[in-house]
């Protein structure tokens, strides 16, 4: 007679019957109404049990306390009206609840403009608790500084070696820049380079001779004097930035905490390390990779590492104290990764380095990816932090956990239905899809310049303003060469717009193509997780599939990148019209209309030439002229003249697009020029609003 346990319903709804996904379970407990009712039916019909619960009438309740009780499933018959204030209030409450749980790392899933970045600063002010905000780019700090001033918080922008050190940024010449950057790239820290320069160069750095280097002086700060520290992901490795503070990772750190090594680098670093340690039973890189399968040699090598490098700690001091330019701080990790790497069956290896550190190795290097053989994933240690909270609008939970080296507790501000309302009713965005294909544009190989040029120019003409544009960096390069950028307003590329508000007041936007970094990107992350990721079947474009784990990575990379781009426009709530030329749009996104690009066939061009300057005409009047023109325009080996049926079909298309009109006169149809002078010469962009 007991109630069916709520967790049982979650299991039925998500895993057994897939009425919804894990991501649809709001606040970790609340099942969407339709899936909830379907799960009740399964319990009743398939298990023969009375669930002891009543069906939900429909809708999703906004629960102000965000509790996880069974009573929360009793929901009203209709969705509440969402406003920007209400969404941001809910986002703040989600952040507040997440930070209160100090036992776990937290991940808050909130779309752009929901106030997640603002919310953590507000929380710091209201709770008088110091925080460190780590972002992918320094330009994102400006808004955080404004919010700190608004709440009376003291903030400090952490220095960056490449920007603030005069030697590293080239102020003291290219020779010194090359010297210090070679040390930095070999694993020495910026602080070590400044403090130990005389050991390496027999003199101080030029940036230290006339006073203190800006970078070096800025690194000498007391964190207790500041409520908010603002830095990039690299600063997560500094205890003074993370200890006794709430650490905020703003946006996905998938581009951080890992280091890439080209094949030549790996050969050089590993061979040098083995040459300096004769006790290891391998002479060089080649000997190691070819002989590591020998159980006796492998055993002896592992034993040596256990005794001499038990924690595989990078030795950055050796980089500064040795005059050997081949010394590298990560040499022990790279060598050990080659020693213990396990083949996954897709050309990639995983090496477990301990402390949630991993290496991924590409065994099948091709000329186009020879620059990448080994990648180390080295999450920072946040052991001294009060708690860690991640903020993301399109998270892949598994990828976050790999980057942080820790499991995360997931919190979602809006469910899919509410997200659609948020886009449509709160941000007043109208999204028009003009292509069903995935259009993977990152490599630049598949950029369709003629179609894209038509889309950009014709949308601008009809909307009476130049559209702002987001696409891939390679596509922008091609547009620039062809002069297409003359027809757009502002432009930016995938990967450089996360967290950006540059298009916040834009009323007309274009997103062309989708980000796709290639199969090796997915296999690399699979290797970090020890999962064999590979393409399954012959699907292409939107039908590509890489298995369960690989598809999660694919969705975060592709659909996540597209929705992040879409939501850059009109973030101020005053609305935007956005044309999206890809099929990689999340299912929950409301589409206001669809369209495409019609390329004029040879037959259409014949008809257009025949009706030019006619004013009005009947179908049969065109046939003779069309046939005469056909011999001049079409290839002579085409067997038949264009038929009356084809002529009518092309005329109907021109009516549909509004270039001509038709009316009945007696027993025939009369066609009339409406605006044929506006017909594009080669292709036409159509969409309905």
Token pair of 365 as six digits? 């290097």
**Residue 80 or residue 52, greater confidence:** 52
Q: How far apart are CA 246 and CA 387, in angstroms?
A: 5
Return the minimum-mean-pLDDT range out of 113-127, 470-484, 581-595, 646-660.
646-660
Instruction: Give pLDDT, residue 65.
Output: 25
pTM for this model (two decimals): 0.83
Under the banding of pLDDT at 50, 70 and 90, the label for residue 640 is very low
SS3 at position 232: strand
593 and 687 in contact (C-beta within 8 Å)? Answer: yes
Instruction: Give pLDDT, residue 555.
Output: 96
Confidence check: pLDDT of 79 > 70: no
List 249's β-bridge partners, or say none.
134, 390
**CA angle, 59 as apex, 55 and 63 as ends, to 5°?**
100
Under the banding of pLDDT at 50, 70 and 90, the label for residue 485 is very high
Token pair of 673 as six digits? 């020029």
> What's the whole-number mean pLDDT along residues 428-447?
94
Q: How far apart are CA 472 and CA 492, in angstroms?
A: 8
CA-CA-CA-CA dihedral for 435, 438, 440, 446, to nearest 10: -50
Confidence check: pLDDT of 64 > 90: no
Please state the φ and ψ torsions of residue 231, each to the nearest 5 degrees. Answer: -150, -175
218 and 230 in contact (C-beta within 8 Å)? Answer: no
513 and 581 in contact (C-beta within 8 Å)? Answer: yes
Task: Tell me the pLDDT tens digit for each residue of 128-161.
Answer: 999 999 998 888 898 999 999 999 999 999 999 9
Task: Tell me the pLDDT tens digit for each residue of 271-306.
Answer: 999 999 999 999 999 999 999 999 999 999 999 999
Instruction: Give pLDDT, residue 368.
Output: 61
Confidence check: pLDDT of 45 > 60: yes
Rounded to the nearest 10 degrees, what angle do helices 519-529 and 397-404 cross at?
60
433 and 595 in contact (C-beta within 8 Å)? Answer: yes
Q: How far apart are CA 228 and CA 124, in angstroms?
A: 8
Token pair of 291 as six digits? 């002989």
Q: How far apart are CA 216 and CA 214, in angstroms?
A: 6
Task: Tell me the pLDDT tens digit for each residue of 375-433.
Answer: 999 999 999 999 999 999 999 999 999 999 999 999 999 999 999 999 999 999 999 99
522 and 533 in contact (C-beta within 8 Å)? Answer: yes
Under the banding of pLDDT at 50, 70 and 90, the label for residue 61 is very low
668: part of which helix (H) or strand (E)? strand 668-673
């Amino acid at each position: 007679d007991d109630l069916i346990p709520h967790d049982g319903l979650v299991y039925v709804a998500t895993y057994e019957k897939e009425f919804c996904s894990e991501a649809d379970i709001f606040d970790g407990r609340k099942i969407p109404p339709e899936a909830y009712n379907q799960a009740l039916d399964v319990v009743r019909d398939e298990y023969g049990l009375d669930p002891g619960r009543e069906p939900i009438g429909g809708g999703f309740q906004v629960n102000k306390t965000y509790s996880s009780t069974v009573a929360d499933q009793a929901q009203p018959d209709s969705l509440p009206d969402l406003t920007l204030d209400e969404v941001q209030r809910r986002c703040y409450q989600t952040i507040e609840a997440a930070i209160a749980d100090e036992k776990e790392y937290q991940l808050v899933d909130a779309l752009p403009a929901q106030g997640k970045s603002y919310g953590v600063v507000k929380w710091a002010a209201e709770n008088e608790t110091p925080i460190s905000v780590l972002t992918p780019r320094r330009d994102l700090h400006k808004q955080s500084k404004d919010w700190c001033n608004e709440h009376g918080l003291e903030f400090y922008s952490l220095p960056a070696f490449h920007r603030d050190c005069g030697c590293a940024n080239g102020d003291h010449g290219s020779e010194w820049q090359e010297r210090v950057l070679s040390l930095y790239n070999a694993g020495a820290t910026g602080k070590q380079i400044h403090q130990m320069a005389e050991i390496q160069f027999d003199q101080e750095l030029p940036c230290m001779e006339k006073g203190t280097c800006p970078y070096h002086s800025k690194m000498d700060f007391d964190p207790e004097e500041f409520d908010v520290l603002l830095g990039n992901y690299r600063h997560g490795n500094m205890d003074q930035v993370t200890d006794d503070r709430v650490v905020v990772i703003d946006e996905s750190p998938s581009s951080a905490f890992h280091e890439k090594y080209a094949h030549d680098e790996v050969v050089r670093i590993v061979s040098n390390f083995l040459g300096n340690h004769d006790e290891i039973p391998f002479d060089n890189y080649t000997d190691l990779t070819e002989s590591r399968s020998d159980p006796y040699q492998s055993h002896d090598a592992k034993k040596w590492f256990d005794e001499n490098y038990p924690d595989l700690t990078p030795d950055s001091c050796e980089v500064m104290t040795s005059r050997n330019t081949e010394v590298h701080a990560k040499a022990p990790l790279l060598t050990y990764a080659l020693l213990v790497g396990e083949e996954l069956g897709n050309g990639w290896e995983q090496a477990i380095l301990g402390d949630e550190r991993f290496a991924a190795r590409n065994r099948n290097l091709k000329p186009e990816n020879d620059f990448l053989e080994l990648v180390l994933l080295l999450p920072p240690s946040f052991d001294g932090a009060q708690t860690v909270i991640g903020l993301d609008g399109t998270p892949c939970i598994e990828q976050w956990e790999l980057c942080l080296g820790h499991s995360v507790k997931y919190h979602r501000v809006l469910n899919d239905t509410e997200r659609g309302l948020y886009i449509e009713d709160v941000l007043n965005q109208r999204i028009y899809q003009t292509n069903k294909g995935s259009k993977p544009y990152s490599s630049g190989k598949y950029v369709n310049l003629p179609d894209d040029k038509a889309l950009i120019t014709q949308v601008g003409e009809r909307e009476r303003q130049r559209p702002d544009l987001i696409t891939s960096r390679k596509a922008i390069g091609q547009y620039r060469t062809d002069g297409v950028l003359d027809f757009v307003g502002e432009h930016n590329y995938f990967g450089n717009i996360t967290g950006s508000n540059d298009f916040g007041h834009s009323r007309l936007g274009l997103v062309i193509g989708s980000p796709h970094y290639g199969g090796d990107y997915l296999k690399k992350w699979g290797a970090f997780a020890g999962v064999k990721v590979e393409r399954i079947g012959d699907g292409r474009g939107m039908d590509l599939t890489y298995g369960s784990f690989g598809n999660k990575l694919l969705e975060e990379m592709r659909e996540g990148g597209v929705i992040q781009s879409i939501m850059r426009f009109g973030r101020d709530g005053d609305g935007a019209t956005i044309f999206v030329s890809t099929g990689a749009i999340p299912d929950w996104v409301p589409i206001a209309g669809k369209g495409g690009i019609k390329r004029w066939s040879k037959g259409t061009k014949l008809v257009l030439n025949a009706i030019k300057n006619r004013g009005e005409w009947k179908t049969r009047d065109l046939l003779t002229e069309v046939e005469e023109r056909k011999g001049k325009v079409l290839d002579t080996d085409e067997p038949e003249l264009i038929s009356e049926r084809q002529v009518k079909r092309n005329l109907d298309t021109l009516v549909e697009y509004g270039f001509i009109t038709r009316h009945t006169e007696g027993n025939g149809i009369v066609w009339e020029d409406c605006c044929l002078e506006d017909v594009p010469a080669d292709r036409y962009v159509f969409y309905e609003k």
